[in-house]
Amino acid sequence: MKYVVTGAAGFIGSHLVEALQLAGHEVAGIDCFTDYYDPAQKEENAAGFDVARLDLAEDELDFGDADGVFHLAGQPGVRSFGPVFADYVRRNVLAAQRVLEAAAGARVVLASSSSIYGDAETYPTPEDTPPQPISPYGITKLAAEHLARAYATSFGLDAVVLRYFTVYGPRQRPDMALARVVGALAAGTPFELYGDGSHSRSFTYVSDAVEATIAAMERAPAGATYNVGGGEEATMREVIETLERISGRVLDLRTGPPAAGDVHRTSADVSRIRADLDWAPSVRLEDGLREQWSWASARVAAR
C-alpha cells in the first residue's frame, strides 16, 4: 500500500513510519520540524527514512494516489493557554482541515487525544462519554475530530479517529513527564513535578499505539472512533518509584503547583477497539519503562 504519514519525524510518527516500511508498504513522510522542541531530536528520529518538509497549514498538499493518510502532525501539550493558542489553532485545526481537504479518496486515520474528555464523567472512559476538554489543546483536537465528521458527512471522506492516552517509550517528546523523569535520573539533575504526584494516567507503550494505528487503517469501519490506551493505570508517584527501581537511582524530586489544563486522571476503556479490531495493549508498564530508561540513559552517556 501507499501511505502518507504527517508528523513523520515526531515521536509516534517515526515509529509508525518504520513499522509500515518493515511491513513492506511505501511511505511518504511529511513533517514541518517546528521548534516546539529541539528539531535536532526530530532529525534523529527520522534518520532512517526520507521526510518532506512541509507546513500543512500553508504549503500545497498533494497526496497523489495514496491509499491512506495517517495524520499525526500537530501542536502537542496541554499548556496551551495565552498567546501560544494561535499556534494550536493553526497546527491542529487549520492543518487538519487542509489535510482532510487534500485526502480526497484516501482513507484518513486522524490522531486525537484523551485530552478531549477533560475530567471525564466515567472511569474507565468509553468513547461515547461527552467531551469536556479543559485545555485549549484539547479543544483544538476535538475541533479536528468534528472537521473529520463534517468531511465524512458532506463529502464521503473515509475517516477514523484515534484518541491516544499518554503514549510513552523511546523518542518520547522531551517536554512530557516521563521523558523529563528519565532524563533527570540519567543526568542526575533535579525534576520538578507538577502537583503532588497523585494524578494518574492510562500509560500506552508506543509499539502498542502503532499497532492500533495500523489496525485502524486496515480494518476499522468508516467513521469509527477509538480509544487507544494502555492496560495499566498508574500515578506519577508510582511511575517515579518504578523508574528509581529500574535505574537503581534516586530522583532529586521537587514539587510545584499543578499545571493549568492538566486533568487529574485518564483511564481508557478499550472494549470497542478490542471488539472491532481485536487489539489490546500487550506491553506491561514496567517493561515499557525499562525500554524508555535504556534508550534515555544511552543517549545521555553518548553525549
Of 88, 117, 137, 205, which one is the catalytic site residue? Answer: 137
SS (H, E, C) 78-90: CCCCHHHHHHHHH
Cell 524530586, residue located: 253
- Residue 236: name the closest of 276, 188, 195, 272 by CA: 195
Is residue 225 exposed (0-12), middle (13-18) or buried (19+ Cβ within 10 Å)?
Answer: buried
* Phi, psi (deg, nearest 5) at residue 280: -150, 150
To which H or E segment does residue 195 belong? none
- Residue 301 CA to residue 243 CA, distance in Å, equals 18
**3 catalytic per annotation:** no
Q: In the structure grid, which three cell numbers stand for residue 102, read together?
A: 487534500
Name 162's bridge partners.
111, 226
- Residue 173 CA to residue 156 CA, distance in Å, equals 35
Work out the widest C-alpha separation in the chain, in whole angstroms.
56
**What DSSP state is assigned to residue 283?**
S
- Residue 193 CA to residue 180 CA, distance in Å, equals 10
- Residue 279: name the closest of 206, 202, 205, 212 by CA: 212
Catalytic residues: 137
